[in-house]
Amino acid sequence: MEGKAAAKSAPRAEHFSHGADIGVRGRGATLALAFEGAALALTMAVADPLSVRPETVVEIRCEAPDLRLLLLDWLNALIYEMAVRRFLFSRFAVVIEGLRLCGRAWGESVDRARHAPAVEPKGATLTGLEVGFRDGLWVAECVVDV
Amino acid sequence: MELSRLERLTNEKWRLKAERGMRVPAILFGDGELLRAMDDKVLEQIGNVARLPGIVGAAYTMPDAHWGYGFPIGGVAAFDPGEGGVVSAGGVGFDIACGVRTLLTGLKRSEIESCKEALAERLFETIPAGVGSRGRILLDEAEMERMLASGARWAVERGWGEPEDLERIEEEGVMKGARPQEISERARRRQEAEMGTLGSGNHYLEVQEIAALFDEAAARAFGLVRGEVVVSIHCGSRGLGHQIGTEFLREMALAAPAFGIRLPDLELASAPLSSLLGERYLGAMRAAINCAFANRQILSHLTRSVFAEFFPGARLPLLFDVSHNTCKEEEHEVEGEKRRLFVHRKGATRAFGAGQEGLPAPFAATGQPVFIGGSMGSPSAIMVGPQARPEEAFASSCHGAGRAMSRHQALRRWRGSEVVAELRARGIIVKSPSLRGVAEEAPGAYKDSLAVVNAAHLAGLSRKVATLEPLLCIKG
């Protein structure tokens, strides 16, 4: 039972193909989990999240006119923190109330030898930007320019 | 791409007639093979561009076009402010003023071969590249302001380059109309430690041999000698440009309905050129162009310092510096009438022919150099603006080989270590902090760069001058 409960509450992260860039997709039983999954997929575009130690927490707050822009703002806030702190994140906790998001991201400074980061995310785009409920799960996705 | 919807105008020029809300037709450049290999999304995206208000003439794609976001990469479109024309943050992209500059060395390949390994190592140590790298120059508020206003001139005044470099940069290294006050604190913060950094992805510094010449007169004018070596640097406005793109894209997407703009794709977020938002974006984008000029100027200085260690006395004069992600105000002839237009080039290079207004003085008689980047293992090319008038596609040409497959597909097909080993067996040294990054950028993930160059040449977009073979490559 515990295993099933854990699986149900874990975000799923994956990529989808895009010509030159990378599509990030999160799925989960809740909207918040889908947002966490999209954030994890963002890290996966750069490095293996398992190599990133969740040592330091960064708090992020966003508010947007709709859920799609809320996802855009969440991912762009993470990209900004990754850029100015030279950070990678591997663990996320998101609370969404209406169109307000309160998130926490745990990570550490980039270690080029250990993380071997592949690409630098420049920004989350409006291309393929979708938030919705599909096949029994919440899905949050968009293309990230790298 | 399915070609049945296209009308073939010449071997390298195809037209999609204006349909379903398109205000102008779309013109696609490239031979049948290049177009068939393109994703259908290219056609969908350029069709959407043709639906934007105030677009003039046609929406164009270059022979290296591929699926982008909003605009296709390799897309060109011009807008008339007097006809409700727009400026689109998505039409410029996140990496504002990403571009290429090429330095001449006057050195023979044999001279480089004698120290290639050590030279590659020193360049890799000296040029900050890849995720997590930091520049050695930290800008305080006042210096950031000066850099944003004065671009490469600021860098030269600080000792990172020679005054004669400036006349060989678009806009003489200083983009007029920059409005640093339109740039947010977050964008500035993102740039604080990124001056003089290469970035990652498809950005590179490459040492290349001039392998073949196709236009002796233009080659002579550009100082290109077969068998000699050049250095090409491909990068842009770094975090500052990325943040400006992020912020204005969102703002324009939200504001579009109030302007009465119906966006066929949200990523085409636009504002009227005559609006306050449009003017703010243009001011910020122009400051980001200055940031890119300054960044490539500093990288040139670092490159020169490394070459001086190995070849005392080598000056590495600049051939030219040209951006390929911009929106520029230019005069063009449209149906016999000269008009001031705002030309978006996203993954497309300005290709002014001889005598065109706005050409830097050294190229007034020849036309400007146009740089087409290769892909670590494939040739790059130097072209020149066309002789014919009026120029095709608002005087634009291609910018690189263009991706033929996604990063995912590339990762499934290649391992970074194997790519590095294969290139080394061909005498090409690749230095990168990320083997995965190398795999994603494997030469086979790109189109045949020479096919793209030949198509641009035959289409009359620009003329072939020289091809460059890679000797060593620093990848971000």
CB pairs under 8 A between A and B: 131
Confidence of residue A8 (pLDDT cuts 50, 70, 90): low
Confidence of residue A101 (pLDDT cuts 50, 70, 90): very high
> Pairing mode, if any, of strands B463-475 and B429-431?
parallel
Rounded to the nearest 10°, the torsion over CA B25, B30, B36, B42 is: -50
C-beta atoms of B250 and A112 within 8 A: no
Length of chain B: 476
C-beta atoms of B200 and A143 within 8 A: no
Q: Is the pLDDT of residue B173 over 80?
A: yes
Give the mean pLDDT of B209-226. 98
How near does any CA of chain A get to the CA of B351, in Å?
Answer: 24
Confidence of residue A5 (pLDDT cuts 50, 70, 90): very low
C-beta atoms of B433 and A117 within 8 A: yes
Catalytic positions of B are 399
Q: Whole-angstrom Cα distance, residue B173 to residue B80?
A: 26
Q: How far is CA A112 from CA A20, A52, B74, B313, B459, in A?
A: 23, 11, 32, 35, 44
- The owner of tokens 């995965």 is B436
Considering only the beta carbons, identify the residue of B66, B239, B440 that sits closest to A19. Answer: B66
C-beta atoms of A110 and B132 within 8 A: yes
Q: Look at the domain B3-404+446-475 and name its fold.
A: tRNA-splicing ligase RtcB (3.90.1860)
Average pLDDT taken over every residue of chain B = 95
The answer to whether A66 faces chain B, any CB pair under 8 Å, is no
Closest CA in chain B for residue A115: B434
C-beta atoms of B186 and A80 within 8 A: yes
pLDDT digits (tens, 9 = 90+) for A37-67: 999 999 999 999 999 999 999 999 999 999 9
Per-domain residue ranges of chain B: 3-404+446-475
Structural domain A12-145, CATH architecture: 3-Layer(bab) Sandwich (3.55)
| ipTM greater than cut 0.95 | no
Tell me the percentage of chain A whose pLDDT exceeds 70.
Answer: 95
Q: Is the pLDDT of residue B44 over 50?
A: yes
Considering only the beta carbons, identify the residue of B69, B190, B243 that sits closest to A145. Answer: B69
Residue B106, number of CB atoms within 10 A of its CB: 16
How near does any CA of chain B get to the CA of A5, in Å?
Answer: 31
Confidence of residue B226 (pLDDT cuts 50, 70, 90): very high
Q: Is the pLDDT of residue B217 over 70?
A: yes
